[in-house]
């Protein structure tokens, strides 16, 4: 019975809120609605609605997916200090990070679904009724780890919150096991996603051992940066006081991860261009343009510039600790990494094609609209989870009251 009370209490909590909350929720709803309507057109006519082609057969959908897997994995950066090192500041806010992981995993799945030519055949991917090519296909791995990660990140915080709601002491060992599991799982989701690309020897730009660690580094920069930004919003709303210490911890994580990511970008740049061969064609296209085609060049340099500016802001103590400059740095990191993984990684892997055709890709309005719709869903879910979790975490919302 308690569980039903718990959910109804949570749901009721969602309906309470000031004008700012309702404006935020309504605008997200509108974003979702336009996305759903646009996607309905794609369901009807097919992926022809997008800017993708046989040459560039994955586009902004998969780029978003790749970025968001990183965001989901980044929750681990608070899970480790909270559950393993018993950092009190981290423990207070870890549930919010797990909420982000849930929303991001969900968005990942949605992005994969909208990218599918036959979403009506999703059941083919299910074990037993379908016919999955496990363990050979990396995509089956991705489906498994993403679903697992979503479930883990739903169950752990729900267990904790439910106990807090009921005023019970939870089974600590159970939570610790779950936390350790989710730690490794977080690393695995992004590693598997990197392998999804680097397993293709047909595409030398992707087929590099560096991508799994680089994915993790960029994720551990962008994820915590996004968490900092959301904490600032929550802090401003006054619903939940987030300590300076927590923000500082996260800011240092962002700084270190960003440094590692930039180092790897540099290493990659050296390896591609010191002895440039046929396998560097995509890198040349990305950084300098190939045979006159150079649509991605401004993107990659703006991504690198954003990362560098953010790094400077983060490495100077005064700017790192100042709320405004920190926010600017975090925005730059999130956008920079988003570009780096999409326009700087997924797309150039297709250009030129394995048989040398240089055919460029630009996401069209349709793809942008559907993507915004999915972001809308993700942010709605994140908002809802945070909205329900905060009063429980603050001890305001309990069973007895």
Residues that bind other proteins (CB under 8 A): 43-48, 50-55, 57-58, 112, 115-125, 128-133, 136-140, 143, 196-197, 199-203, 278, 281, 284, 288, 290-293, 349, 352-360, 364
Dihedral angle of Cα 73, 138, 203, 60, to the nearest 10 degrees:
-50
CB atoms within 10 A of CB 367: 24
- The residue (of 21 and 58) whose beta carbon lies closer to other proteins is 58
Contact 89, 249 (CB under 8 A): yes
Task: Supply the minimum distance, in Å, between the C-beta of residue 207 and other proteins.
Answer: 10
Query: Would the CA dihedral through 77, 82, 88, 90 be positive or negative?
Result: positive
Pick 29 or 43: Cβ nearer other proteins = 43
Smallest separation, CB 185 to other proteins (Å): 20
Cβ proximity to other proteins, 25 vs 139, nearer residue? 139
Cβ closer to other proteins: 163 or 353?
A: 353
Distance (Å, whole) CA 209 – CA 198: 7
SS (H, E, C) the chain: CHHHHHHHHHHHHHCCCCHHHHHHHHHHHHHHHHHHHHHHHHHHHCHHHCCCCCCCCCCHHHHHHHHHHHHHHCCHHHHHHHHHCCCHHHHHHHHHHHHHHHHHHHHHHHHHHHHCCCHHHHHHHCCCCCCCCCCCCHHHHHHHHHHHHHHHHHHHHHHHHHHHHHCCCCCHHHHHHHHHHHHHHHHHHHHHHHHHHHCCCCCCCCCCCCHHHHHHHHHHHHHHHHHHHHHHHHHHHCCCCCCHHHHHHHHHHHHHHHHHHHHHHHHHHHHHHHCCCHHHHHHHHHHCCECCECCCHHHHHHHHHHHHHHHHHHHCHHHHHCHHHHHHHHHHHHHHHHHHHHHHHHCHHHCCCCCCCCCCCCCCHHHHHHHHHHHHHHHHHHHHHHHHHHHHHCCCCCCCC
Separation CA 234–CA 240 (nearest Å): 6
Which residue's CB is nearer to other proteins, number 25 or number 132?
Answer: 132
Rounded Cα–Cα distance for residues 168 and 304 (Å): 49
C-beta of 92: minimal distance to other proteins in Å? Answer: 40
Whole-number minimum distance, CB 359 to other proteins, in Å?
A: 5
Minimum CB distance to other proteins smaller for 52 or for 161: 52
Tokens of 347: 């797309």
Q: How far is the CB of 124 from other proteins (least distance, A)?
A: 5
Q: Which is nearer to other proteins, 27 or 57 (CB)?
A: 57
State which residue, 324 or 355, has the beta carbon closest to other proteins.
355
To other proteins, the closest distance from the beta carbon of 141 in angstroms equals 9
Nearest approach in angstroms of CB 166 to other proteins is: 35
Closer to other proteins by CB, 54 or 169: give it. 54
Across the strands, what pairs with 290? 293
Least distance from C-beta 161 to other proteins, angstroms?
31
- Closer by beta carbon to other proteins, 51 or else 336: 51
Closest approach of other proteins to the CB of residue 136, in Å: 5
Nearest approach, Cβ of 139 to other proteins (angstroms)? 4
Nearer to other proteins, 102 or 150 (CB): 150
Q: Please, what is the minimum distance in Å from the beta carbon of residue 135 to other proteins?
A: 10
């Amino acid at each position: 019975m308690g569980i039903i009370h718990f959910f109804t209490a949570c749901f009721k909590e969602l309906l309470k809120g000031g004008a700012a909350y309702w404006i935020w929720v309504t605008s997200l709803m509108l974003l979702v609605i336009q996305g759903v309507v646009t996607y309905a057109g794609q369901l009807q006519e097919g992926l022809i609605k997008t800017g993708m082609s046989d040459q560039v057969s994955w586009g902004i959908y998969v780029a978003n997916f790749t970025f968001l897997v990183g965001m989901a994995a980044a929750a681990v950066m608070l899970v480790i200090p909270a559950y393993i090192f018993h950092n009190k500041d981290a423990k207070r806010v870890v549930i919010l990070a797990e909420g982000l992981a849930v929303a991001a995993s969900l968005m990942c799945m949605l992005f994969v679904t909208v990218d599918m030519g036959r979403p009506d055949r999703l059941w083919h991917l299910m074990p037993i009724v379908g016919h999955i090519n496990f363990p050979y296909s990396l995509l089956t791995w991705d489906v498994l780890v993403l679903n697992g990660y979503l479930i883990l990140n739903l169950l752990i915080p729900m267990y904790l919150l439910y106990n807090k709601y009921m005023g019970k002491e939870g089974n600590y060992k159970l939570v610790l096991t779950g936390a350790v599991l989710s730690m490794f799982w977080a690393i695995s989701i992004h590693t598997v996603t990197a392998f999804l690309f680097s397993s293709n020897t047909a595409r030398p730009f992707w087929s590099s051992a560096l991508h799994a660690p680089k994915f993790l580094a960029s994720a551990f920069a962008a994820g915590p940066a996004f968490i900092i930004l959301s904490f600032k919003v929550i802090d401003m709303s006054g619903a939940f006081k987030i300590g300076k210490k927590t923000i500082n911890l996260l800011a240092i994580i962002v700084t270190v991860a960003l440094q590692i990511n930039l180092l790897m970008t540099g290493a990659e740049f050296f390896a591609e261009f010191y002895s440039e061969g046929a396998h560097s064609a995509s890198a040349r296209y990305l950084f300098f343009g190939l045979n006159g085609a150079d649509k991605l060049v401004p993107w990659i340099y703006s991504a690198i510039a954003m990362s560098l500016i953010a790094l400077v802001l983060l490495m100077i103590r005064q700017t790192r600790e100042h709320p405004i400059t920190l926010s600017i740095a975090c925005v730059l990191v999130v956008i920079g990494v988003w570009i780096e993984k999409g326009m700087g990684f997924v797309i150039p892997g297709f250009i030129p094609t394995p048989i040398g055709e240089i055919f460029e890709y630009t996401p069209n309005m349709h793809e942008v609209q559907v993507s915004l719709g999915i972001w809308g869903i993700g942010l709605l879910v994140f908002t809802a989870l945070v909205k329900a979790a905060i009063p429980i975490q603050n001890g305001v919302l309990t069973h007895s009251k």
